[in-house]
């Protein structure tokens, strides 16, 4: 796979994740019932969805920048851009798994669902949107692996040169850098 194709694949995966996160934001914020003053989970999931969307936007910026060094044939610059993208995606994944789908938050959603009424419908929408975020988040990780593999395959091989030096130990023992051609001489 070429680096351009790998960057395109990663961009496509990030686009699919953006769509899933937009759906989460809609489910958490726009689909809130018009009952009472709201609920703490509404505030929590609204903030988490906004943060995840912002982190994703930050992750896409260095990827857009990576296209120019790829065209110039500069694997180090592309690597730095992919590293910045991956660091932001890692933060996004930590926020998603720590603050959106962690056990305690899912339990809180389940408790609210058991109350019934309009909040139960809201919870079902949020849970559905959360469940739809994991597959594209996984695909982003797979696309990052493919991009790193493409960089490794694209980078010119590193030349390594090893030379032997003469080592003198005392006056009686000496090792030299003679290399035999296999002819026994």
**Spans of all domains in the chain:** 3-158
3-158 — its CATH code?
1.20.120
pLDDT score recorded for residue 180:
47
Q: What is the DSSP string of 112-137?
A: HHHH-HHHHHHHHHHHHHHHTTHHHH
H-helix or E-strand spanning residue 167: strand 167-169
Round to whole Å and give the CA distance between 51 and 60: 14
Average the pLDDT over 96-112 and give the result.
94
Q: What gap in Å lies between CA 161 and CA 165, rounded to an integer?
A: 13
Q: How far apart are CA 112 and CA 101, in angstroms?
A: 15
Q: How confident is the model at residue 148 (pLDDT cuts 50, 70, 90)?
A: very high
Report how far residue 96's alpha carbon sits from residue 134's, in angstroms, rounded to the nearest whole number: 9
Whether the predicted pLDDT of 7 surpasses 80: yes
Q: Would the pTM of this model clear 0.85, i.e. be above it?
A: no
What's the rounded Cα separation, in Å, for the pair 179 and 185?
Answer: 10
Residue 185 has pLDDT above 50, yes or no: no
Least confident of 32-36, 148-152, 162-166: 162-166
Torsion angle, alpha carbons of 57, 59, 63, 66, to 10: 120
The yes-or-no verdict on residue 159 having pLDDT over 50 is yes
Supply φ then ψ for residue 176, to 5 degrees. -120, 175
The per-residue pLDDT for 162 is 63
75 pLDDT higher than 50: yes
* Structure confidence at residue 89 (pLDDT): 96
pLDDT band at 166, cuts 50/70/90? Answer: low
Q: Which two tokens stand for residue 116?
A: 């019934």
83 pLDDT higher than 60: yes
């Amino acid at each position: 796979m070429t680096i351009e194709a790998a960057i395109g694949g990663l961009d496509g995966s990030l686009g699919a994740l953006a769509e899933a996160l937009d759906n989460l934001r809609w489910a958490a914020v726009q689909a809130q019932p018009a009952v009472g003053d709201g609920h703490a989970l509404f505030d929590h999931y609204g903030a988490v969805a906004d943060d995840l969307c912002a982190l994703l936007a930050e992750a896409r910026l260095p990827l857009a920048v990576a296209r120019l060094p790829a065209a110039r044939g500069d694997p180090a610059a592309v690597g730095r851009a992919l590293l910045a993208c991956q660091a932001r995606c890692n933060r996004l994944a930590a926020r998603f798994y720590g603050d959106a789908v962690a056990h305690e938050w899912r339990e809180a959603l389940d408790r609210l669902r058991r109350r019934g009424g309009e909040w139960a419908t809201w919870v079902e929408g949020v849970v559905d949107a959360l469940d739809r975020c994991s597959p594209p988040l996984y695909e982003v990780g797979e696309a990052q692996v493919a991009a790193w593999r493409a960089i490794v395959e694209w980078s010119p091989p590193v030349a390594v040169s090893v030379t032997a030096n003469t080592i003198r130990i005392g006056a009686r023992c000496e090792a030299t850098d003679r290399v035999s051609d296999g002819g026994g001489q």
